[in-house]
Amino acid sequence: MAQSRTAEIVPFRRKAAYATPLDSRGLMEAVYTAGSLPVSAEDRTTKVMASRLQILGFFVIEEIAVDGSPRRLSATEARMANIDRPWRVSKPGWGGAHGRPDALGLTSFRP
């Protein structure tokens, strides 16, 4: 007589979203929604992503000095910047000041 076996299936759930964006789209949504995003000195992954997106014109990157003053980095400087300093990644200001938050996470283009 054959016995029936019941197999238990254990679903593997995806991990919850982290506070730090892990891909370029998540980084763009976070920055465009908030207006700017602080990046710690040790977060090399986010810094590399932000510097690549700065080349395309999506971000303004500022290096935060020891005294707290920001220094705007060019695209070349961002790629070779000192990793010991934190950054502030901001939404560029098209026709105004950079770093203004956008409630929808999208840029608003004006003709």
Does residue 74 belong to any structural domain of this protein? yes
First-last CA distance in the chain: 80
Does residue 40 belong to any structural domain of this protein? yes
Q: What is the pLDDT of residues 7-45, one digit of tens each?
A: 777 666 655 444 444 688 889 989 988 889 999 999 988
The structural domain count of the chain equals: 1
Does residue 1 belong to any structural domain of this protein? no
Is residue 46's pLDDT more than 60? Answer: yes
Q: What is the pLDDT of residues 69-88, one digit of tens each?
A: 999 999 888 888 767 899 99
pLDDT confidence of residue 18: 44
CB 53 within 8 A of CB 27: yes
Does residue 45 belong to any structural domain of this protein? yes
Does residue 47 belong to any structural domain of this protein? yes
Does residue 16 belong to any structural domain of this protein? no
Domain of 77?
24-90
Does residue 34 belong to any structural domain of this protein? yes
Three-class secondary structure of residue 36 per DSSP: strand
Max distance between CA atoms of the chain, in angstroms, equals: 80
Measured CA distances, 74 to 8, 12, 21 (Å): 56, 43, 23
Does residue 19 belong to any structural domain of this protein? no
pLDDT confidence of residue 111: 39
The b-or-e profile of 14-43 (16+ CB within 10 A means b, else e) is eeeeeeebeeeeebbebbbebebbebeeeb
